[in-house]
Amino acid sequence: LRRRASGSVIHLNNTKSPSPTMSSSEVGTPDAKRQKTMPMNGNGHAHQNGSATLNGEVCGSTARLMADRQLLSSQSLPTTRTPTVFKTVQLPDHLRQKVLVTGGAGFVGSHLVDRLMCEGHEVTVLDNFFTGQKKNIEHWLHHPNFSLIVHDVTEPIRIEVDQIYHLACPASPPHYQYNPVKTIKTSTIGTLHMLGLAKRVKARILLTSTSEIYGDPQVHPQPESYWGNVNTIGPRACYDEGKRVAETMMYAYKHQNNVDVRVARIFNTFGPRMNPNDGRVVSNFIIQCCQNKDLTIYGEGHQTRSFQYVSDLVNGLTSLMNGSYDLPVNLGNPEEFSIKNFALKIKEMTKSASEVKFLPATQDDPTQRQPDITTAKQQLEWEPKVSVVQGLKHTIDYFQNVLKESGEIAPTGPDASKPKA
């Protein structure tokens, strides 16, 4: 500032030099002031792409989100329990079914869910997690076609479905004997609720029954026409008789209420996702051999069993559900083993140092079990494709990974016990 003698003030250098692109007459005009606030490019022109850049980033982010969503809706996510990535298909609305799987977080149920999801159906799993495990289905939790309802089938539920696979019930002797009254309720009241649901929404319902309805059979192999030999008051009766009553209810609803029913009588099944603490023959023998522990056989080991791999069972279940045959069907592998020879086979395959240890026999343990699958062959065009040895290789690999993850596992004995996680 320089003050004149008159006392007035004049301002010096209060403006910047004119821009090379402006004439001296343009300096200080409103347009020029606005222009001076805008960044200049190399040609002296103001940039207009600030908002365009932001919009581009938003659009790019949206596109990535849409691509991620598209990917997640077309496959499962790999997990420790299920590292395999399953691809799903997009079905048109008139072909896509709404399918309810009770007990869908269990061993067999989770494999059935995999099949249904890969086929493009909308799948709802209903499970109370007594024996089922969330990690069996966690690879589907993100998928838009998958829903999980934590619920007990002994309580009623309302849901809109086209098909019901009713698997809910503990299946290993130690687990179903832990709470025999609850086991009976699951097979009877639970089945009654599912039949009521099927009646209301006009859904087809498939019950997974069991070879245990034949009891300790006096006919060998067992055809569907055999009525069985069951001790109604023994330790296995809560499961055996519960399933027999469930079959009776299925056909009562069919004849009285025209409910569309299917019944599968499942023989011993094995494969990945078996609970290592379920006390069943396959899981116990593999866990014992992989840890070089004694191979425990209850009785002399002469009793026989037939073992099918889980993928064959799933094929049979879906064929039965989607076929027209509505009488009971045996689903099992006729390849029969004595328990002793089966134990020695697993010991050989695992190269284990385990020794066989014979313990007292359990009450009402069937002496022989082998399915007659003539009906399945004729009516469903179904028979097992995976040999027992092939299935054991997959199952042994699975349990070896489980042991690496969890450390030592104590096999479950024949006595009643609560399922472990």
Residue (of 151, 170, 168) closest to 159 by Cα position = 151
- 20: amino acid identity, one letter: P
pLDDT score, position 18: 42
Q: Would you say the C-alpha torsion 36, 42, 46, 49 has a positive or negative sign?
A: negative
CB 123 within 8 Å of CB 147? yes
CB 329 within 8 Å of CB 263? yes
pLDDT per residue, tens digit, the chain (421 aa), is 344 333 443 343 444 444 444 444 444 444 444 444 444 555 545 455 666 677 777 787 788 878 888 888 999 999 989 999 999 999 999 999 999 999 999 999 999 999 999 999 999 999 999 999 999 999 999 999 999 999 999 999 999 999 999 999 999 999 999 999 999 999 999 999 999 999 999 999 999 999 999 999 999 999 999 999 999 999 999 999 999 999 999 999 999 999 999 999 999 999 999 999 889 999 999 999 999 999 999 999 999 999 999 999 999 999 999 999 999 999 999 999 999 999 999 999 999 999 999 999 999 999 999 999 999 999 999 999 999 999 999 999 999 999 998 888 888 888 888 887 6
pLDDT score, position 395: 98
What CA–CA distances, in Å, run from 311 to 66, 314, 348, 383, 384?
Answer: 34, 5, 24, 11, 9
Strand partners of residue 124: 100, 147
Q: How far apart are CA 179 and CA 92, in angstroms?
A: 44
Q: How far apart are CA 263 and CA 247, in angstroms?
A: 7
Q: Which residues are catalytic?
A: 239
Q: What is the CA radius of gyration of the chain?
A: 34
Q: How far apart are CA 150 and CA 130, in angstroms?
A: 11
CA 114 vs. chain centroid, Å, equals 6
Beta strands 269-270 and 261-266 are unpaired
Strand partners of residue 262: 206
pLDDT score, position 218: 95
pLDDT score, position 49: 61
In this prediction the pTM is 0.85
pLDDT score, position 2: 40
